[in-house]
Amino acid sequence: MSETSKRTVLVYRTGHLGDTICAVPAFRLIRARFPEARLILLCDRPAGGKVFAEQVVEAFGIFDVVETYRSGRGMMTLWQMTGCVRKHHPELAVILPQARESARNLERKKRFFRGCGVADVRGVNFPTLPNEWQPNEPARLLQVLRAVGIRGGMPAYALPVNAAARQSVREKLARLGIPPNTPFLAFCGGGKEATQQWDLARYGRVLRRVADEFQIPVLGLGNETDAARYRTEVLPLFPDLRQPGPLPLPELFEAFRDAVMYLGNDTGPMHAAAAVGCPVAAVLSARNAPGVWDPDVEPRLIFRHRTECEDCFLRKCGREKHRCMTAITEDLVLAGLLPFLGKALTHKKRQDR
């Protein structure tokens, strides 16, 4: 069977919001390589009500089927995954590993797919070089594909406008005093782990200065937990923060499409903003290697303090007292953010003429 005549291709990838959005260019490259194939995505279902891959790929329209399983349940997980694979009889399985995937773990996954009857299983990962700036996740995944024979340039995200979601989010913003065509800044101060989060009180003071300087409304985005923390930690310092509540994913994309820029931590919403071309200013911790989770958009502005312990992948930082984030001061952020936002506002106004 020739390469492009494969009838069913399965792609294996973790199913979290940011990981899935960063994989969209890789997904599109696979689709371009196998245009006539039935394309299946196999991914885990994140716990805790988080957005997962099915909602993302539905928006982009790349896959024919999305199969999900609940990870971390031992033999039950293995049984679920086996059933998903055997149901579709793929001729090819492409593994898109996470950046930290070990060679041993990747080989174990290859053996699993071969055991499910997949004749052609592809996947590779590259070691992270200590203290070196890494390619960001979308670029790394394309390197993975090229190494296994699926080559091509970087595809665009090309998220179609969702007219209904666009109208809905604009109505919600209007109720918050942000009518259509009004420039606004989108803020998200959450994050998967505490070590990824800059202090919300610092954000509150930065947002107050930004709003005063540019007379621009600020929209606070995130989940229910984020919204509750904004009320107790940001609003006392910046009472003008507008909170629409958690937005469905299609509305989140459309909100970022209208925003002047994103300001916040390394979050799934940060990658959603980047995917629709929204300029991003992000405060990133040294929890991961430098560059790995940089947003895939230009222009972007990254605030990062490099430390000897970077790439620790810690959920809590006791010994260093979160030095990689506390060393990023409000003055440092404002010095970069104010001119960056000024340019973004000028560009947005030209676009809207």
If you average pLDDT over residues 130-154, what whole number do you get?
93
What's the pLDDT score for residue 216? 96
DSSP track, 68-113: EE--S-THHHHHHHHHHHHHH--SEEEE---TT--HHHHHHHHHHH
If you average pLDDT over residues 1-13, what whole number do you get?
81
* Residues of the domain holding 10: 3-147
Q: Which of 97-106, 187-196, 276-285 has the largest mean confidence?
A: 276-285
Q: 188 and 253: one domain? A: yes
DSSP track, 210-272: HHHHH---EEE---HHHHHHIIIIITTT-TT-B---PPPHHHHHHHHHH-SEEEESS-HHHHH
Does the residue 53 lie in any domain? yes
Q: 18 and 137: one domain? A: yes
Q: 200 and 238: one domain? A: yes
Q: What is the pTM of this model?
A: 0.94
Total domains in the chain come to 2
Q: Is it the case that residue 4 has pLDDT exceeding 70?
A: no
For residues 287 and 37, give the distance between their C-alpha atoms in angstroms, rounded to a whole number: 39
For residues 272 and 277, give the distance between their C-alpha atoms in angstroms, rounded to a whole number: 9
Does the residue 155 lie in any domain? no
Q: Is it the case that residue 192 has pLDDT exceeding 90?
A: no
If you average pLDDT over residues 13-22, what whole number do you get?
92
Does the residue 152 lie in any domain? no
Q: How far is CA 237 from the centre of its chain?
A: 28
Q: 110 and 173: one domain? A: no
For residues 169 and 57, give the distance between their C-alpha atoms in angstroms, rounded to a whole number: 20
What's the pLDDT score for residue 50? 58
Q: 90 and 171: one domain? A: no
What would the two tokens of residue 32 be? 């371009």
Does the residue 34 lie in any domain? yes
For residues 94 and 330, give the distance between their C-alpha atoms in angstroms, rounded to a whole number: 44
The last residue of one of the domains, among 147, 171, 193, is 147
Assign 27 to helix, strand or coil: helix
**Residue scoring higher pLDDT (264 or 52):** 264
The Cβ-side half-sphere exposure at 166, using a 13 Å CA radius, reads: 12
pLDDT band at 137 (very low <50, low <70, confident <90, very high): very high
**Residue scoring higher pLDDT (320 or 169):** 169
DSSP code for 160: P
For residues 310 and 162, give the distance between their C-alpha atoms in angstroms, rounded to a whole number: 39
